Each structure stands twice: as C-alpha cells, then as structure tokens.
Amino acid sequence: MNNLMNNKRTFVIAEAGIGHFGSLNLAKKLVLLAKKSGADAIKFQAYKTEDLIDKNFSKWFKRYKSKEVDFNFYSKVKDFCKKHKIIFLLTPHTDSVLNWIEKLKIPIIKIGSGEIGNFEFLKKVIKLNKTMIVSTGMHDKVDLINLKNFFKKNKFHKVIFLKCNTTYPSKNENINLKNFLEFKKIFKDYYVGYSDHTNHDLAIIGSIFYGAKVIEKHISVLFNVKNAQDWKVSFDLKKMQKLVLKIREIEIIKGKKNIFLTNIEKKSKIWASKSIYTKKEIKKNSKIKKSDLIFLRPGNGLSVKFYNKILGKTSKYKLKKNKKVNFNDFK
C-alpha cells in the first residue's frame, strides 16, 4: 500500500478540505501548518459543483461553488507540498475530477463517507489502482458489511477503513469508541483508522489504543467563518502539533505485545524486591525454622520465592545475624 502500512508509525492526515476558500495563499498556509505540525500528509477536496449538488439546493450549491477550484490550483498546491516534503492527498467528490488523481500522481485516494453505497463511483476509483482510504460515517453495520463485500467481490484489497462520526462537532456521547472493536471485526482483513470530528483529541488518543493505524484530523487557519462548518472541528497549528506529539508518545507507550519485563524493570526489581536473611545468629548443624529467617531489601540475594526450600535444611556452619543466605550455606 505504497509503503503506507509498512511504517510502524501511525499515518497522520491533516484534513484541509476546502478550507482554502479558493485562495492559493490560504492553501499554502494550510500546507505549512500541516508540515510544521508533524503530520504525514495534507488532504484537500476536489469537485465540480454542478456534478455534485442540485442547483435548487441553493444554499449548499452557492457555498461549494464559491470554494471550487480547478486542476491548475491543485497542481500548484501539489508542487508546494513536494517542496516542503509533505504528502499531498485528495478526495474526489465527482467523476469529473477523477482524472486529476492520475495527472497529479497522487498515491492515495481518500473517499468520503457520503460515497459509501455509491458503487458505480467506487468501481471507477478502483480502476485507478491506488490505495484507498474510506471513511464510514453515517452508515450502519449492514452498510459496512456490504461495503466490505463490494471490495472483495471486485478483488480490490488496497483499502483502509476509517471509523467516523459525521457531525460537526461530534458530541462525546455519539463517538462510541467501544464500537471500534466491532468495527475491527467487520474489517478484520484490512487496516483500520479513525477520522475525527470532535473539538478535542481524546477520541483520537483512544482510537489508537484500539488499533487505529491512520488518523485524520481537520486543520484550519481561519475560525468563526460564516457559511462554513469545518473550522468547528479543526485544530490550529499549536493544537495539531500537540496532537502529533501525543500520537508519537503513545506509539512508544504501546510498546510490544510480547514483552512483559523490560530491562529497566529488571534493575528496579533489585531494590524493590527482597532477599532471605538470617534474623539471628544460627549455630552450626541447626535445623532452619521460620523464626530464623527474615526478608529484607535489596533483592540481589536468594529470592524469597525459595523460602520454603530453605526451611527444614541444616546449616553447614555458624551463620551470623543479618547474613544474606544462599543454598551453599545449608546441607
């Protein structure tokens, strides 16, 4: 999958959407924000408004039309991303912009939640033979199973599915991260991730512990904008930087599943555990009783777990009080 999943790091996407508002200058500011935050990629959205929204749905038609940009716009943004060494991604919302994916040599296609069930569109995307990241908001379990079966039927396996709640902003009671386990079962043969629409980072952090390999979070350089909603769930540079740092720290905290005792813990074990000592002076040829022994730190002597093996043994010679004992002290 374009080495996306060969890296052990969580793949972090800074979602810019159409937050450029048609301005190339704003688009470049978003790219710089994403780069400075430490995100792996920045993603924008592309469409032809006439192919996306009914003109009679005038409020949304006007809103999207005012932010519509052409191929040359994103070509310049892609070049700017290349200059600053951050991956440029795109979500195509209409058939009319699918050819941009090839022209811009975009390695990964992001599919929005609204296209689930739009199998004719997804068939066209499959033909591009690019890794696909698919959000799954606004759909129930049956829809998700049908989606999985669609890709299997079409023998297309380069897909990563993102759990998502498509409300702006998503309330805590609607996130339901416990459902992530069921989500992983449905897509057990695929990598999974989480696309966030909250105004905090808690759900993202939780999703990583549940196994999210890809994280998508909205970013913005403008806030409190009329006739827009993405800013309500977006992070500025400072918040995005903190998020990426937390994600990298969590990757370290998660560790490896087959390690139970670390090397540093082995050192800690010496001062935190106890060894077997003599509680009093013990004469030669004495049979060892409970009253003869005591447990004291450090634990660099005979471990207390051998206590019962010492009881009843006979001392080879006189043992001084507070002596750290070993098996050689007994017959």
**Interval 169-186: pLDDT, tens:** 999 999 999 999 999 999
Give me the sign of the Cα torsion angle 171, 177, 180, 182: negative
Supply the CATH classification number for the domain 263-329: 3.90.1210.10
Share of the chain above pLDDT 70, in %: 98
Whole-model pTM: value is 0.89
pLDDT band at 5 (very low <50, low <70, confident <90, very high): low
pLDDT band at 322 (very low <50, low <70, confident <90, very high): very high
Q: What is the average per-residue pLDDT within 150-176?
A: 96
- Convert the pLDDT of each residue in 251-306 to its tens digit: 999 888 777 888 888 889 999 999 999 999 999 999 999 999 999 999 999 999 99
Question: What is the DSSP-derived secondary structure letter of residue 234?
Answer: -
Tokens of 48: 């032809």
Q: Give yes or no for a cis peptide into 298 (omega within 30° of 0).
A: yes
Supply the CATH classification number for the domain 11-254: 3.20.20.70
- Convert the pLDDT of each residue in 33-43 to its tens digit: 999 999 999 99
Q: What confidence score (pLDDT) does residue 4 get?
A: 65
Alpha helices in the chain (DSSP H): 24-37, 49-52, 58-65, 71-83, 98-103, 119-126, 141-153, 179-186, 202-210, 237-254, 263-272, 307-310
Domain boundaries, the chain: 11-254, 263-329
- Convert the pLDDT of each residue in 138-150 to its tens digit: 999 999 999 999 9
In order of 152, 193, 195, 244, the CA distances from 11 in angstroms are: 24, 9, 12, 10
Share of the chain above pLDDT 90, in %: 92
